[in-house]
Amino acid sequence: MSDLVPPHGGGSLRPLLGSLASRGETLRRAERLKKVPMTSREISDLFMLGMGAYTPLAGFMGHDDWRASVTDMRLADGTFWPIPITLSLARSIADGLAVGEEVALADAETGEILGQMVVREKYTIDRDFECRHVFRTTDSRHPGVEKVMRQGEVNIGGPVVVISEGEYPAKYKELYLRPEETRAEFERRGWKQVAAFQTRNPMHRSHEHLAKIAAEVTDGVFIHQVLGKLKAGDIPAEVRTRAIQAMIDNYFKPNIAIQAGYPIEMRYAGPREALIHALIRQNFGCSHLVVGRDHAGVGSYYGPLDAQHVFDELWEGALLCKPLKIDVTFYCYKCAGMATGKTCPHDHKHHLSVSGTRQREMLSKGEEVPAEFSRPEVVAILREYYGSLGKE
Ligand SMILES: [Zn+2]
């Protein structure tokens, strides 16, 4: 019996990736089926299903699970689930599919077949209704809302078998760990309580401080990178990984921090997204998730602490992975050290604050980066990256 937190839903992990031996045959069968095109977000969800990160889901949601997850943050059987996981099609495509039909799930851009699905249900969705509940807004300038509004108007639900994880395993190698693998690694290290720290960025000292606070109260910290589609201007995963590793190697004791990455695509749903991030981390074997200010938010759609408070609204037993609620972190010149918004009494003018734009400027122009802001080992890697951009 493992000492780690059990997977979500009360059963075993449910990876939907077919065995290596069976994938060739499944693919040959799928090639004869009608192809259903998937967007990048849907593909990311398929990969999450494949690796077991969405345990206990068996595929894309049918109507009752979709509706219950939207309104009540649960599946039709009562299991906690805060964001619908769905596959949408244009009506013209959906009309050509029969309930009970097997279909091939394909990348809309490349045509590559990534999975197979049995269409158990077809249902029309009210996109405004979904967005109002999940995103708390129907404003199409919100990037998550915008994607839902662009979806086809018919959802198809049913069980899936994942045939391919795309380029992830080859591209990210040791970084691409599935829940079964992280659980085995935590056990090998003797970790029982594990705190997940989600990041899309290289880690500066404020992030390092957050991760260290988490490590102080658990057995280890699991630094987990978002590997899904990047926004323009984001630092590539390979550079980010090296920068994070430099921080771990130089500023953490051995056996206290691990980094890995997973194929999620951000929805920017703020509080609801913080909840699903915790659910996913429970499947990876983490007992805690660091939830800072503005977790998974965008613009000013959510209050800075909404993603922390939403955990208090859950019912008993909904989610076993608990939030580590930590306030904003920074270097304070009066405290003469790293501090948080919760405990530092000093005015903002004593806090070191560097905007994203200013960081890029300092790194690409070779300006000195304050040691209170970022570690020199991290700065060296980022400088090299920004320097290489100029030469292209
Ligand atoms: Zn202070």
* pLDDT tens figures, 179-211: 999 999 999 999 999 999 999 889 999 999 999
Q: Tell me what pLDDT residue 390 has.
A: 65
Instruction: Report d(CA 224, CA 378) in Å as an integer.
Output: 17
* CB-count burial class (<10 Å; 0-12, 13-18, 19+) for 65: buried
* pLDDT tens figures, 119-160: 999 999 999 999 999 999 999 999 999 999 999 999 999 999
User: How far does the centroid of ligand 1 lie from the alpha carbon of residue 373, in Å?
Assistant: 15
Please tell me which residue in 132, 200, 293, 360 is annotated as part of the active site. 200
* pLDDT tens figures, 314-332: 999 999 999 999 999 999 9
User: How far does the centroid of ligand 1 lie from the alpha carbon of residue 334, in Å?
Assistant: 5
User: How far does the centroid of ligand 1 lie from the alpha carbon of residue 26, in Å?
Assistant: 60
Taking the C-alpha atoms of 207, 258, 245 and 46 in order, what is their torsion angle to the nearest 10 degrees?
A: -90
* pLDDT tens figures, 30-76: 999 999 999 999 999 999 999 999 999 999 999 999 999 999 999 99
Instruction: Look up residue 358 and give its DSSP letter.
Output: H
Q: What percent of the chain has pLDDT over 90?
A: 86
User: How far does the centroid of ligand 1 lie from the alpha carbon of residue 30, in Å?
Assistant: 61
Query: 167 pLDDT exceeds 70?
Result: yes
Residues with CB under 5 A from ligand 1 (ion): 332, 334-335, 339, 344, 346
User: How far does the centroid of ligand 1 lie from the alpha carbon of residue 340, in Å?
Assistant: 8
Please tell me which residue in 29, 132, 201, 293 is annotated as part of the active site. 201
Query: 392 pLDDT exceeds 70?
Result: no
> Among residues 90, 147, 94, which one has the least CA distance to residue 121?
94
**Annotation says 283 is catalytic:** no
**CA-to-CA dists, residue 181 to 38, 188, 197, 281, angstroms:** 27, 10, 17, 13
Average pLDDT over the chain reads: 94
> Among residues 227, 41, 32, which one has the least CA distance to residue 152?
41
**Annotation says 200 is catalytic:** yes
User: How far does the centroid of ligand 1 lie from the alpha carbon of residue 295, in Å?
Assistant: 23
* pLDDT tens figures, 70-124: 999 999 999 999 999 999 999 999 999 999 999 999 999 999 999 999 999 999 9
pTM of the complete model: 0.95
Query: Helices (DSSP H) in 252-354: which residue ranges?
Result: 271-284, 306-309
Contact criterion met (CB below 8 Å) for 274 and 295: yes
Amino acid at 299: G
Q: Tell me what pLDDT residue 391 has.
A: 61
* CB-count burial class (<10 Å; 0-12, 13-18, 19+) for 259: buried
